[in-house]
Structure 1
Amino acid sequence: MGRLKVVVILGPTATGKSNCGILLAHKLNGEIISGDSMLVYKNMDIATAKPTSAELEEVEHHLVNILEPNENFNVVDFKARAAILINEINARGKVPIIVGGTGLYIKALLEDYDFAQTQASSNLRTDLENYAIKEGNKALHKKLEGLDKEAAIRLHYNDRRRVIRAIEVAMEGEEVSQSHAKETPYDAYVFGLHMPRELLYPRINKRVDNMVEAGLFEETGHLLKMGVGEDAQAMKSIGYRQVLEYFHGEYDKDTCVDKIKQATRNFAKRQFTWYKKMPYIHWIEVGEPPMPEIYVAEMIRVLEQKRKLR
Protein backbone atom coordinates (compact mmCIF):
# COMPACT_ATOMS: atom_id res chain seq x y z
CA MET A 1 0.00 0.00 0.00
CA GLY A 2 1.33 3.46 -0.93
CA ARG A 3 1.73 6.35 1.43
CA LEU A 4 -1.39 8.32 2.31
CA LYS A 5 -1.92 11.55 0.37
CA VAL A 6 -2.20 14.88 2.13
CA VAL A 7 -1.97 18.50 0.99
CA VAL A 8 -1.11 21.30 3.42
CA ILE A 9 -1.78 25.04 3.22
CA LEU A 10 0.01 26.99 5.92
CA GLY A 11 1.10 30.56 6.47
CA PRO A 12 0.94 33.36 9.01
CA THR A 13 -2.34 34.73 10.28
CA ALA A 14 -4.43 36.89 7.91
CA THR A 15 -2.99 35.58 4.63
CA GLY A 16 -6.22 33.96 3.40
CA LYS A 17 -5.52 30.27 4.14
CA SER A 18 -9.15 29.39 4.85
CA ASN A 19 -10.45 30.71 1.52
CA CYS A 20 -7.71 28.87 -0.36
CA GLY A 21 -8.44 25.68 1.55
CA ILE A 22 -12.14 25.75 0.67
CA LEU A 23 -11.44 26.45 -3.01
CA LEU A 24 -8.81 23.71 -3.20
CA ALA A 25 -11.15 21.25 -1.49
CA HIS A 26 -13.75 21.89 -4.20
CA LYS A 27 -11.13 21.32 -6.92
CA LEU A 28 -9.69 18.13 -5.42
CA ASN A 29 -12.81 16.60 -3.87
CA GLY A 30 -11.16 17.20 -0.53
CA GLU A 31 -11.97 17.55 3.14
CA ILE A 32 -10.30 20.10 5.40
CA ILE A 33 -8.45 19.28 8.60
CA SER A 34 -7.83 22.37 10.70
CA GLY A 35 -4.17 22.79 11.64
CA ASP A 36 -4.97 25.69 13.96
CA SER A 37 -4.62 25.19 17.71
CA MET A 38 -7.59 27.46 18.54
CA LEU A 39 -10.30 26.39 16.08
CA VAL A 40 -10.94 23.25 18.12
CA TYR A 41 -12.87 25.31 20.69
CA LYS A 42 -16.63 25.80 20.61
CA ASN A 43 -18.10 29.29 21.12
CA MET A 44 -14.73 30.95 20.45
CA ASP A 45 -15.34 32.32 16.98
CA ILE A 46 -14.19 35.92 16.69
CA ALA A 47 -10.65 36.12 18.07
CA THR A 48 -9.86 32.77 16.44
CA ALA A 49 -11.02 34.04 13.00
CA LYS A 50 -12.98 30.82 12.67
CA PRO A 51 -14.59 30.17 9.26
CA THR A 52 -18.27 31.13 9.18
CA SER A 53 -21.03 28.56 9.61
CA ALA A 54 -21.70 28.76 5.86
CA GLU A 55 -18.02 28.10 5.07
CA LEU A 56 -17.91 25.18 7.49
CA GLU A 57 -20.95 23.67 5.77
CA GLU A 58 -19.67 24.33 2.27
CA VAL A 59 -16.82 21.82 2.68
CA GLU A 60 -16.37 19.11 5.30
CA HIS A 61 -14.16 20.48 8.13
CA HIS A 62 -12.49 18.46 10.88
CA LEU A 63 -10.96 19.50 14.23
CA VAL A 64 -13.22 22.55 14.41
CA ASN A 65 -15.66 23.04 17.33
CA ILE A 66 -14.76 19.74 18.97
CA LEU A 67 -13.79 20.88 22.50
CA GLU A 68 -15.21 23.04 25.26
CA PRO A 69 -13.17 26.17 26.04
CA ASN A 70 -12.09 24.78 29.42
CA GLU A 71 -10.40 21.77 27.81
CA ASN A 72 -6.74 21.57 26.81
CA PHE A 73 -5.34 20.70 23.39
CA ASN A 74 -1.72 20.31 22.33
CA VAL A 75 0.54 19.01 19.57
CA VAL A 76 0.32 15.40 20.79
CA ASP A 77 -3.49 15.53 20.61
CA PHE A 78 -3.39 17.09 17.16
CA LYS A 79 -0.96 14.54 15.74
CA ALA A 80 -3.02 11.59 16.99
CA ARG A 81 -6.36 12.95 15.75
CA ALA A 82 -5.03 14.21 12.41
CA ALA A 83 -3.36 10.87 11.62
CA ILE A 84 -6.69 9.05 12.06
CA LEU A 85 -8.52 11.62 9.91
CA ILE A 86 -5.96 11.41 7.10
CA ASN A 87 -6.44 7.66 7.00
CA GLU A 88 -10.24 7.92 6.99
CA ILE A 89 -10.40 10.66 4.32
CA ASN A 90 -8.06 8.73 2.02
CA ALA A 91 -10.20 5.62 2.55
CA ARG A 92 -13.22 7.61 1.30
CA GLY A 93 -11.33 8.36 -1.90
CA LYS A 94 -10.95 12.02 -1.00
CA VAL A 95 -7.97 14.31 -0.41
CA PRO A 96 -7.22 15.53 3.12
CA ILE A 97 -6.21 19.20 3.10
CA ILE A 98 -4.64 20.52 6.29
CA VAL A 99 -5.19 24.26 6.65
CA GLY A 100 -3.60 26.21 9.49
CA GLY A 101 -0.78 28.27 10.81
CA THR A 102 0.50 26.23 13.76
CA GLY A 103 3.90 25.18 12.43
CA LEU A 104 4.78 22.81 15.26
CA TYR A 105 1.56 20.83 14.74
CA ILE A 106 2.11 20.35 11.02
CA LYS A 107 5.83 19.66 11.33
CA ALA A 108 5.22 17.07 14.06
CA LEU A 109 2.61 15.31 11.92
CA LEU A 110 4.49 15.27 8.62
CA GLU A 111 7.82 14.34 10.16
CA ASP A 112 6.17 11.78 12.45
CA TYR A 113 7.57 13.00 15.76
CA ASP A 114 7.57 10.16 18.26
CA PHE A 115 6.41 11.97 21.38
CA ALA A 116 5.76 8.75 23.31
CA GLN A 117 9.31 7.55 22.76
CA THR A 118 10.77 10.90 23.73
CA GLN A 119 8.73 11.13 26.91
CA ALA A 120 9.37 7.54 27.94
CA SER A 121 13.10 7.65 27.33
CA SER A 122 13.88 10.90 29.12
CA ASN A 123 13.81 12.24 32.64
CA LEU A 124 12.89 15.71 31.44
CA ARG A 125 9.81 16.08 33.63
CA THR A 126 11.68 14.99 36.77
CA ASP A 127 14.54 17.33 35.92
CA LEU A 128 12.11 20.24 35.51
CA GLU A 129 10.33 19.43 38.77
CA ASN A 130 13.65 19.39 40.60
CA TYR A 131 14.70 22.63 38.91
CA ALA A 132 11.48 24.32 40.08
CA ILE A 133 11.96 23.08 43.63
CA LYS A 134 15.54 24.31 43.72
CA GLU A 135 15.30 27.57 41.73
CA GLY A 136 11.61 28.46 42.12
CA ASN A 137 8.58 28.72 39.82
CA LYS A 138 9.65 32.08 38.37
CA ALA A 139 12.97 30.61 37.19
CA LEU A 140 11.10 27.69 35.61
CA HIS A 141 8.75 30.14 33.89
CA LYS A 142 11.77 32.09 32.61
CA LYS A 143 13.01 28.88 31.01
CA LEU A 144 9.67 28.52 29.20
CA GLU A 145 9.86 32.13 28.04
CA GLY A 146 13.13 31.34 26.27
CA LEU A 147 11.48 28.42 24.44
CA ASP A 148 7.93 29.61 23.73
CA LYS A 149 7.06 33.24 24.50
CA GLU A 150 3.40 32.78 23.59
CA ALA A 151 3.00 29.92 26.08
CA ALA A 152 4.88 31.91 28.73
CA ILE A 153 2.43 34.80 28.31
CA ARG A 154 -0.54 32.43 28.63
CA LEU A 155 0.64 30.59 31.73
CA HIS A 156 1.10 31.99 35.24
CA TYR A 157 4.44 31.13 36.80
CA ASN A 158 2.70 29.39 39.72
CA ASP A 159 0.89 26.98 37.38
CA ARG A 160 3.88 24.66 37.59
CA ARG A 161 2.26 21.60 36.03
CA ARG A 162 1.22 23.43 32.86
CA VAL A 163 4.50 25.33 32.65
CA ILE A 164 6.39 22.04 32.76
CA ARG A 165 4.11 20.53 30.12
CA ALA A 166 4.62 23.58 27.89
CA ILE A 167 8.39 23.26 28.26
CA GLU A 168 8.15 19.58 27.36
CA VAL A 169 6.14 20.37 24.23
CA ALA A 170 8.50 23.18 23.22
CA MET A 171 11.58 21.02 23.74
CA GLU A 172 9.97 18.16 21.87
CA GLY A 173 9.40 20.53 18.98
CA GLU A 174 13.09 21.41 19.00
CA GLU A 175 14.65 18.11 19.99
CA VAL A 176 12.27 15.31 19.06
CA SER A 177 13.74 15.37 15.56
CA GLN A 178 16.14 12.85 17.10
CA SER A 179 13.10 10.56 17.38
CA HIS A 180 11.23 11.23 14.16
CA ALA A 181 10.82 8.82 11.28
CA LYS A 182 13.55 8.75 8.67
CA GLU A 183 10.87 9.13 6.01
CA THR A 184 7.52 10.87 6.23
CA PRO A 185 4.60 8.42 6.38
CA TYR A 186 2.67 10.66 3.98
CA ASP A 187 2.74 11.50 0.31
CA ALA A 188 2.51 15.16 1.25
CA TYR A 189 2.87 18.47 -0.48
CA VAL A 190 3.07 21.66 1.57
CA PHE A 191 2.11 25.09 0.28
CA GLY A 192 2.88 28.27 2.20
CA LEU A 193 1.23 31.65 1.70
CA HIS A 194 3.73 34.49 2.05
CA MET A 195 2.74 38.13 2.26
CA PRO A 196 5.37 40.90 2.61
CA ARG A 197 5.41 42.50 6.04
CA GLU A 198 4.44 45.93 4.69
CA LEU A 199 1.20 44.38 3.39
CA LEU A 200 0.59 41.84 6.16
CA TYR A 201 0.81 44.16 9.17
CA PRO A 202 -1.84 46.67 7.99
CA ARG A 203 -4.02 43.69 7.07
CA ILE A 204 -3.62 42.29 10.60
CA ASN A 205 -4.53 45.68 12.09
CA LYS A 206 -7.66 45.87 9.95
CA ARG A 207 -8.60 42.32 10.85
CA VAL A 208 -8.43 43.14 14.57
CA ASP A 209 -10.64 46.22 14.01
CA ASN A 210 -13.14 43.94 12.26
CA MET A 211 -13.05 41.51 15.19
CA VAL A 212 -13.85 44.32 17.62
CA GLU A 213 -16.72 45.43 15.38
CA ALA A 214 -17.97 41.84 15.19
CA GLY A 215 -18.22 41.65 18.99
CA LEU A 216 -14.89 40.40 20.39
CA PHE A 217 -15.44 42.11 23.76
CA GLU A 218 -19.00 40.80 23.99
CA GLU A 219 -17.91 37.26 23.05
CA THR A 220 -15.27 37.27 25.78
CA GLY A 221 -17.84 38.43 28.33
CA HIS A 222 -20.24 35.71 27.18
CA LEU A 223 -17.57 33.05 27.66
CA LEU A 224 -17.06 34.22 31.25
CA LYS A 225 -20.82 34.08 31.87
CA MET A 226 -20.82 30.52 30.50
CA GLY A 227 -18.39 29.61 33.27
CA VAL A 228 -15.19 29.45 31.25
CA GLY A 229 -12.34 30.13 33.67
CA GLU A 230 -9.93 32.97 33.05
CA ASP A 231 -7.11 30.48 33.65
CA ALA A 232 -8.33 28.20 30.82
CA GLN A 233 -5.69 27.58 28.15
CA ALA A 234 -7.98 28.95 25.45
CA MET A 235 -8.68 32.21 27.32
CA LYS A 236 -4.98 33.03 27.37
CA SER A 237 -4.74 33.20 23.60
CA ILE A 238 -4.35 36.43 21.66
CA GLY A 239 -7.46 38.58 21.75
CA TYR A 240 -9.21 37.00 24.71
CA ARG A 241 -6.21 37.56 26.99
CA GLN A 242 -6.02 41.30 26.27
CA VAL A 243 -9.79 41.74 26.63
CA LEU A 244 -9.65 40.06 30.05
CA GLU A 245 -6.92 42.50 31.07
CA TYR A 246 -9.17 45.35 29.89
CA PHE A 247 -12.04 43.94 31.97
CA HIS A 248 -9.70 44.06 34.98
CA GLY A 249 -9.04 47.75 34.34
CA GLU A 250 -5.41 47.35 33.30
CA TYR A 251 -5.88 49.76 30.37
CA ASP A 252 -8.56 51.50 28.30
CA LYS A 253 -10.31 49.98 25.28
CA ASP A 254 -8.17 51.70 22.62
CA THR A 255 -4.98 50.51 24.32
CA CYS A 256 -6.45 47.02 24.53
CA VAL A 257 -7.10 46.97 20.78
CA ASP A 258 -3.58 48.23 20.09
CA LYS A 259 -2.15 45.47 22.29
CA ILE A 260 -4.12 42.83 20.37
CA LYS A 261 -2.73 44.19 17.09
CA GLN A 262 0.84 44.18 18.43
CA ALA A 263 0.49 40.66 19.83
CA THR A 264 -0.92 39.40 16.51
CA ARG A 265 1.91 40.99 14.51
CA ASN A 266 4.44 39.40 16.87
CA PHE A 267 2.66 36.07 16.48
CA ALA A 268 2.95 36.29 12.67
CA LYS A 269 6.67 36.91 13.09
CA ARG A 270 7.02 33.79 15.27
CA GLN A 271 5.07 31.74 12.74
CA PHE A 272 7.63 32.62 10.05
CA THR A 273 10.40 31.51 12.43
CA TRP A 274 8.77 28.08 12.65
CA TYR A 275 8.37 27.81 8.90
CA LYS A 276 12.11 28.29 8.41
CA LYS A 277 12.48 24.84 9.97
CA MET A 278 10.39 23.39 7.13
CA PRO A 279 12.50 23.69 3.96
CA TYR A 280 10.04 21.60 1.93
CA ILE A 281 7.39 24.37 1.85
CA HIS A 282 6.46 25.59 -1.64
CA TRP A 283 5.90 29.31 -1.12
CA ILE A 284 3.27 31.31 -2.98
CA GLU A 285 3.45 35.10 -2.89
CA VAL A 286 0.21 36.72 -1.74
CA GLY A 287 -0.80 40.28 -2.59
CA GLU A 288 -3.32 42.72 -1.15
CA PRO A 289 -6.09 41.98 -1.60
CA PRO A 290 -5.41 38.22 -1.75
CA MET A 291 -6.68 36.43 -4.86
CA PRO A 292 -7.41 32.85 -3.76
CA GLU A 293 -8.45 31.67 -7.24
CA ILE A 294 -4.98 32.51 -8.61
CA TYR A 295 -3.15 30.88 -5.71
CA VAL A 296 -5.25 27.71 -5.90
CA ALA A 297 -4.68 27.51 -9.67
CA GLU A 298 -0.95 27.61 -8.93
CA MET A 299 -1.37 24.84 -6.33
CA ILE A 300 -3.22 22.64 -8.84
CA ARG A 301 -0.53 23.28 -11.47
CA VAL A 302 2.25 22.29 -9.05
CA LEU A 303 0.40 19.20 -7.81
CA GLU A 304 -0.19 18.02 -11.37
CA GLN A 305 3.43 18.68 -12.28
CA LYS A 306 4.61 16.73 -9.23
CA ARG A 307 2.07 14.00 -10.00
CA LYS A 308 0.57 14.37 -6.54
CA LEU A 309 -2.99 14.07 -7.84
CA ARG A 310 -2.70 10.53 -9.13
Structure 2
Amino acid sequence: MAETRQVIEKNNSLSTSMKPKRKKQRWDFKNTWPLHALVIPAVIVALIFQYGPMFGIIMAFQDFKPWLGFIESEFVGLKHFITMFEYDYARQVIWNTLVISVLKLIFGLIVPLAFALMLNEVYHMKFKRTVQTIVYLPYFLSWVILGGMLIDILSPSGGIINQFLGWFGIDPIFFLGSNDWFRTTVVISDLWKETGFNTIVFLAAITVVNPALYEAAVVDGANRWKQTWHITLPAMRPIIIVVATLSLGNILNAGFDQIFNLYNPLVYETGDIIDTYVYRVGLVSGDFSYGTAVGLFKSIISLVLIVIGYRLAYKYANWRIF
Protein backbone atom coordinates (compact mmCIF):
# COMPACT_ATOMS: atom_id res chain seq x y z
CA MET A 1 0.00 0.00 0.00
CA ALA A 2 2.83 2.38 0.89
CA GLU A 3 4.55 1.73 -2.43
CA THR A 4 1.30 2.25 -4.31
CA ARG A 5 0.72 5.52 -2.50
CA GLN A 6 4.22 6.69 -3.37
CA VAL A 7 3.68 5.87 -7.04
CA ILE A 8 0.39 7.80 -7.07
CA GLU A 9 1.97 10.80 -5.39
CA LYS A 10 4.89 10.69 -7.82
CA ASN A 11 2.50 10.59 -10.81
CA ASN A 12 0.48 13.47 -9.41
CA SER A 13 3.60 15.56 -8.91
CA LEU A 14 4.72 14.81 -12.45
CA SER A 15 1.32 15.69 -13.90
CA THR A 16 1.17 18.96 -12.00
CA SER A 17 4.71 19.86 -13.02
CA MET A 18 3.90 19.15 -16.68
CA LYS A 19 0.89 21.51 -16.68
CA PRO A 20 1.71 24.86 -18.24
CA LYS A 21 1.63 27.69 -15.77
CA ARG A 22 -0.90 30.39 -16.50
CA LYS A 23 0.63 33.78 -16.90
CA LYS A 24 -1.12 36.75 -15.44
CA GLN A 25 -2.64 38.84 -18.17
CA ARG A 26 -1.33 42.36 -18.23
CA TRP A 27 -2.56 45.34 -20.12
CA ASP A 28 0.22 45.79 -22.65
CA PHE A 29 -0.53 49.18 -24.14
CA LYS A 30 2.58 49.03 -26.30
CA ASN A 31 1.12 46.16 -28.33
CA THR A 32 -2.56 47.16 -28.24
CA TRP A 33 -2.31 50.91 -28.90
CA PRO A 34 -3.20 50.52 -32.62
CA LEU A 35 -6.53 48.97 -31.61
CA HIS A 36 -7.22 51.82 -29.19
CA ALA A 37 -6.28 54.31 -31.89
CA LEU A 38 -8.90 52.77 -34.20
CA VAL A 39 -11.58 53.35 -31.57
CA ILE A 40 -10.73 57.02 -31.03
CA PRO A 41 -12.54 58.36 -34.18
CA ALA A 42 -15.71 56.48 -33.24
CA VAL A 43 -15.54 57.85 -29.70
CA ILE A 44 -15.06 61.40 -30.97
CA VAL A 45 -18.01 61.07 -33.38
CA ALA A 46 -20.21 59.69 -30.58
CA LEU A 47 -19.25 62.52 -28.23
CA ILE A 48 -19.90 65.21 -30.85
CA PHE A 49 -23.09 63.91 -32.49
CA GLN A 50 -24.72 61.87 -29.70
CA TYR A 51 -23.66 63.20 -26.31
CA GLY A 52 -22.96 66.80 -27.30
CA PRO A 53 -26.51 67.57 -28.51
CA MET A 54 -27.92 66.25 -25.23
CA PHE A 55 -27.05 69.64 -23.74
CA GLY A 56 -29.89 71.01 -25.86
CA ILE A 57 -32.41 69.23 -23.62
CA ILE A 58 -32.33 72.38 -21.50
CA MET A 59 -34.50 74.01 -24.19
CA ALA A 60 -37.45 71.92 -22.99
CA PHE A 61 -37.41 73.92 -19.73
CA GLN A 62 -36.82 77.34 -21.32
CA ASP A 63 -38.59 79.78 -23.55
CA PHE A 64 -35.66 79.41 -25.90
CA LYS A 65 -34.74 82.24 -28.21
CA PRO A 66 -31.85 81.58 -30.64
CA TRP A 67 -30.58 85.17 -30.38
CA LEU A 68 -30.43 84.88 -26.56
CA GLY A 69 -28.89 81.41 -26.38
CA PHE A 70 -29.13 78.85 -23.62
CA ILE A 71 -27.87 81.13 -20.86
CA GLU A 72 -30.08 84.18 -21.31
CA SER A 73 -33.29 82.44 -22.42
CA GLU A 74 -36.07 82.55 -19.82
CA PHE A 75 -36.48 79.45 -17.64
CA VAL A 76 -40.13 78.28 -17.61
CA GLY A 77 -39.90 74.89 -15.89
CA LEU A 78 -42.52 72.33 -16.93
CA LYS A 79 -44.64 74.81 -18.89
CA HIS A 80 -44.17 73.11 -22.26
CA PHE A 81 -44.89 69.65 -20.84
CA ILE A 82 -48.15 70.92 -19.33
CA THR A 83 -49.06 72.55 -22.63
CA MET A 84 -48.38 69.28 -24.42
CA PHE A 85 -50.95 67.40 -22.34
CA GLU A 86 -53.48 70.24 -22.50
CA TYR A 87 -53.26 70.45 -26.29
CA ASP A 88 -55.78 68.06 -27.86
CA TYR A 89 -53.77 67.59 -31.02
CA ALA A 90 -50.67 66.55 -29.05
CA ARG A 91 -52.69 63.80 -27.36
CA GLN A 92 -53.96 62.72 -30.77
CA VAL A 93 -50.38 62.49 -32.05
CA ILE A 94 -49.38 60.31 -29.08
CA TRP A 95 -52.41 58.09 -29.71
CA ASN A 96 -51.54 57.76 -33.42
CA THR A 97 -47.99 56.78 -32.51
CA LEU A 98 -49.16 54.10 -30.07
CA VAL A 99 -51.72 52.63 -32.49
CA ILE A 100 -49.32 52.43 -35.44
CA SER A 101 -46.46 51.10 -33.28
CA VAL A 102 -48.58 48.40 -31.61
CA LEU A 103 -49.96 47.25 -34.96
CA LYS A 104 -46.43 47.08 -36.37
CA LEU A 105 -45.24 45.17 -33.31
CA ILE A 106 -48.02 42.58 -33.46
CA PHE A 107 -48.04 41.94 -37.20
CA GLY A 108 -44.27 42.38 -37.42
CA LEU A 109 -43.97 39.38 -35.11
CA ILE A 110 -46.79 37.13 -36.35
CA VAL A 111 -46.31 37.47 -40.12
CA PRO A 112 -42.53 36.75 -40.25
CA LEU A 113 -42.96 33.89 -37.77
CA ALA A 114 -45.70 32.28 -39.86
CA PHE A 115 -43.75 32.86 -43.08
CA ALA A 116 -40.61 31.31 -41.56
CA LEU A 117 -42.57 28.24 -40.46
CA MET A 118 -44.05 27.81 -43.93
CA LEU A 119 -40.72 28.42 -45.65
CA ASN A 120 -39.12 25.83 -43.40
CA GLU A 121 -41.47 23.21 -44.84
CA VAL A 122 -40.17 23.80 -48.38
CA TYR A 123 -37.66 21.11 -49.36
CA HIS A 124 -36.77 22.46 -52.81
CA MET A 125 -33.70 24.52 -51.87
CA LYS A 126 -33.49 26.64 -55.03
CA PHE A 127 -37.13 27.68 -54.74
CA LYS A 128 -36.70 28.31 -51.01
CA ARG A 129 -33.66 30.52 -51.47
CA THR A 130 -35.29 32.40 -54.35
CA VAL A 131 -38.38 33.22 -52.29
CA GLN A 132 -36.24 34.19 -49.31
CA THR A 133 -34.14 36.54 -51.45
CA ILE A 134 -37.20 38.18 -53.04
CA VAL A 135 -38.80 38.79 -49.65
CA TYR A 136 -35.53 40.05 -48.16
CA LEU A 137 -34.74 42.49 -51.00
CA PRO A 138 -37.00 45.43 -49.87
CA TYR A 139 -35.13 45.55 -46.56
CA PHE A 140 -32.10 47.04 -48.35
CA LEU A 141 -34.10 49.88 -49.92
CA SER A 142 -34.60 53.19 -48.12
CA TRP A 143 -38.03 54.63 -47.44
CA VAL A 144 -37.26 57.42 -49.90
CA ILE A 145 -37.19 54.84 -52.71
CA LEU A 146 -40.03 52.72 -51.34
CA GLY A 147 -42.13 55.82 -50.66
CA GLY A 148 -41.85 56.90 -54.29
CA MET A 149 -42.74 53.38 -55.42
CA LEU A 150 -45.78 53.25 -53.15
CA ILE A 151 -47.02 56.65 -54.28
CA ASP A 152 -47.01 55.39 -57.88
CA ILE A 153 -48.41 51.94 -57.07
CA LEU A 154 -51.23 53.28 -54.86
CA SER A 155 -52.11 56.31 -56.98
CA PRO A 156 -55.91 56.63 -57.35
CA SER A 157 -55.56 57.78 -60.96
CA GLY A 158 -53.10 55.33 -62.50
CA GLY A 159 -51.78 53.09 -59.75
CA ILE A 160 -51.63 49.36 -60.47
CA ILE A 161 -53.60 48.51 -57.31
CA ASN A 162 -56.55 50.71 -58.23
CA GLN A 163 -56.42 49.44 -61.81
CA PHE A 164 -56.70 45.92 -60.45
CA LEU A 165 -59.61 46.92 -58.21
CA GLY A 166 -61.29 48.58 -61.19
CA TRP A 167 -61.51 45.20 -62.95
CA PHE A 168 -63.93 44.14 -60.20
CA GLY A 169 -65.97 47.35 -60.38
CA ILE A 170 -64.47 48.89 -57.22
CA ASP A 171 -64.05 52.65 -57.18
CA PRO A 172 -60.47 54.01 -56.83
CA ILE A 173 -59.22 54.28 -53.25
CA PHE A 174 -56.94 57.10 -52.12
CA PHE A 175 -54.80 54.92 -49.85
CA LEU A 176 -52.33 57.68 -48.91
CA GLY A 177 -54.93 60.43 -48.64
CA SER A 178 -57.70 58.74 -46.66
CA ASN A 179 -57.74 58.59 -42.86
CA ASP A 180 -59.58 55.27 -43.11
CA TRP A 181 -56.80 53.62 -45.13
CA PHE A 182 -53.58 55.36 -44.17
CA ARG A 183 -52.74 53.32 -41.03
CA THR A 184 -53.48 50.07 -42.84
CA THR A 185 -51.24 51.15 -45.71
CA VAL A 186 -48.43 52.07 -43.29
CA VAL A 187 -48.57 48.72 -41.49
CA ILE A 188 -48.72 46.64 -44.69
CA SER A 189 -45.90 48.58 -46.34
CA ASP A 190 -43.79 48.17 -43.19
CA LEU A 191 -44.38 44.41 -43.36
CA TRP A 192 -43.35 44.47 -47.00
CA LYS A 193 -40.01 46.02 -46.04
CA GLU A 194 -39.21 44.30 -42.72
CA THR A 195 -40.63 40.78 -43.08
CA GLY A 196 -37.58 39.45 -44.91
CA PHE A 197 -35.13 40.36 -42.14
CA ASN A 198 -37.30 39.01 -39.32
CA THR A 199 -37.93 35.84 -41.30
CA ILE A 200 -34.18 35.17 -41.45
CA VAL A 201 -33.97 35.61 -37.67
CA PHE A 202 -36.70 33.03 -37.10
CA LEU A 203 -35.29 30.64 -39.70
CA ALA A 204 -31.96 30.77 -37.88
CA ALA A 205 -33.76 29.83 -34.67
CA ILE A 206 -35.45 26.89 -36.37
CA THR A 207 -32.11 25.45 -37.54
CA VAL A 208 -31.02 25.09 -33.91
CA VAL A 209 -33.81 22.59 -33.12
CA ASN A 210 -32.48 19.07 -32.58
CA PRO A 211 -33.55 16.84 -35.55
CA ALA A 212 -33.80 13.87 -33.18
CA LEU A 213 -36.90 15.46 -31.67
CA TYR A 214 -38.67 15.37 -35.04
CA GLU A 215 -37.60 11.75 -35.60
CA ALA A 216 -39.00 10.77 -32.21
CA ALA A 217 -42.23 12.64 -32.98
CA VAL A 218 -42.62 10.79 -36.30
CA VAL A 219 -42.21 7.47 -34.47
CA ASP A 220 -44.97 8.56 -32.09
CA GLY A 221 -47.24 9.34 -35.05
CA ALA A 222 -47.10 13.14 -34.98
CA ASN A 223 -47.89 14.90 -38.27
CA ARG A 224 -46.16 18.08 -39.49
CA TRP A 225 -48.63 20.39 -37.75
CA LYS A 226 -48.18 18.66 -34.38
CA GLN A 227 -44.40 18.68 -34.83
CA THR A 228 -44.52 22.42 -35.46
CA TRP A 229 -46.84 23.07 -32.51
CA HIS A 230 -45.13 20.85 -29.94
CA ILE A 231 -41.46 21.02 -31.05
CA THR A 232 -40.64 23.97 -33.32
CA LEU A 233 -42.60 26.70 -31.56
CA PRO A 234 -41.48 25.75 -28.01
CA ALA A 235 -37.88 25.66 -29.21
CA MET A 236 -38.30 29.12 -30.78
CA ARG A 237 -39.92 30.61 -27.69
CA PRO A 238 -36.72 32.31 -26.38
CA ILE A 239 -36.03 34.16 -29.65
CA ILE A 240 -39.72 35.08 -29.99
CA ILE A 241 -39.69 36.56 -26.49
CA VAL A 242 -36.46 38.42 -27.19
CA VAL A 243 -37.78 39.93 -30.44
CA ALA A 244 -41.10 40.89 -28.84
CA THR A 245 -39.66 42.41 -25.67
CA LEU A 246 -36.95 44.36 -27.48
CA SER A 247 -39.65 45.81 -29.72
CA LEU A 248 -41.18 47.42 -26.63
CA GLY A 249 -38.34 49.93 -26.65
CA ASN A 250 -39.49 51.11 -30.08
CA ILE A 251 -43.17 51.34 -29.20
CA LEU A 252 -43.02 55.14 -29.60
CA ASN A 253 -40.91 54.95 -32.77
CA ALA A 254 -43.62 54.49 -35.36
CA GLY A 255 -41.12 55.09 -38.15
CA PHE A 256 -40.26 58.70 -39.01
CA ASP A 257 -38.70 57.84 -42.39
CA GLN A 258 -41.74 55.89 -43.50
CA ILE A 259 -44.40 58.33 -42.28
CA PHE A 260 -42.51 61.40 -43.50
CA ASN A 261 -42.27 60.00 -47.03
CA LEU A 262 -45.89 58.82 -47.17
CA TYR A 263 -48.07 61.23 -45.22
CA ASN A 264 -49.62 64.55 -46.18
CA PRO A 265 -51.92 67.12 -44.51
CA LEU A 266 -55.00 65.08 -45.47
CA VAL A 267 -54.01 62.25 -43.07
CA TYR A 268 -52.55 64.23 -40.15
CA GLU A 269 -55.54 63.15 -38.05
CA THR A 270 -54.58 59.46 -38.12
CA GLY A 271 -51.05 59.44 -39.51
CA ASP A 272 -49.17 62.20 -37.70
CA ILE A 273 -46.79 60.67 -35.12
CA ILE A 274 -44.54 62.16 -32.44
CA ASP A 275 -41.42 62.32 -34.62
CA THR A 276 -43.11 64.06 -37.55
CA TYR A 277 -44.96 66.35 -35.14
CA VAL A 278 -41.68 67.35 -33.47
CA TYR A 279 -40.13 67.95 -36.90
CA ARG A 280 -42.91 70.30 -37.98
CA VAL A 281 -43.25 72.12 -34.67
CA GLY A 282 -39.58 72.33 -33.75
CA LEU A 283 -37.81 72.79 -37.08
CA VAL A 284 -40.40 74.02 -39.54
CA SER A 285 -42.38 76.30 -37.21
CA GLY A 286 -39.37 77.28 -35.08
CA ASP A 287 -40.93 76.46 -31.68
CA PHE A 288 -37.75 74.81 -30.43
CA SER A 289 -38.69 74.60 -26.75
CA TYR A 290 -42.06 72.91 -27.29
CA GLY A 291 -40.61 70.51 -29.87
CA THR A 292 -37.78 69.60 -27.49
CA ALA A 293 -40.26 68.96 -24.67
CA VAL A 294 -42.30 66.57 -26.82
CA GLY A 295 -39.16 64.78 -27.98
CA LEU A 296 -37.83 64.51 -24.41
CA PHE A 297 -41.13 63.04 -23.22
CA LYS A 298 -40.93 60.41 -25.93
CA SER A 299 -37.31 59.60 -25.10
CA ILE A 300 -38.03 59.12 -21.39
CA ILE A 301 -40.94 56.77 -22.08
CA SER A 302 -38.84 54.84 -24.61
CA LEU A 303 -36.01 54.48 -22.08
CA VAL A 304 -38.41 53.05 -19.49
CA LEU A 305 -39.83 50.60 -22.03
CA ILE A 306 -36.33 49.51 -23.11
CA VAL A 307 -35.40 48.76 -19.49
CA ILE A 308 -38.63 46.80 -19.04
CA GLY A 309 -37.97 44.94 -22.29
CA TYR A 310 -34.47 43.89 -21.21
CA ARG A 311 -35.79 42.75 -17.84
CA LEU A 312 -38.51 40.65 -19.46
CA ALA A 313 -36.06 39.18 -21.97
CA TYR A 314 -33.70 38.17 -19.15
CA LYS A 315 -36.51 36.77 -16.99
CA TYR A 316 -38.35 34.72 -19.61
CA ALA A 317 -35.64 33.99 -22.20
CA ASN A 318 -32.46 34.24 -20.10
CA TRP A 319 -31.07 36.76 -22.59
CA ARG A 320 -29.12 39.87 -21.76
CA ILE A 321 -26.52 42.19 -23.29
CA PHE A 322 -24.84 43.37 -20.10
**Structure 2 length normalisation: TM-score?**
0.24
* Structure of greater relative contact order (alpha carbons < 8 Å, 6+ residues apart): 1
**Which protein has the larger Cα radius of gyration, Structure 1 or Structure 2?**
2
Higher strand share: 1
**Structure 1 length normalisation: TM-score?**
0.25
Higher helix share: 2
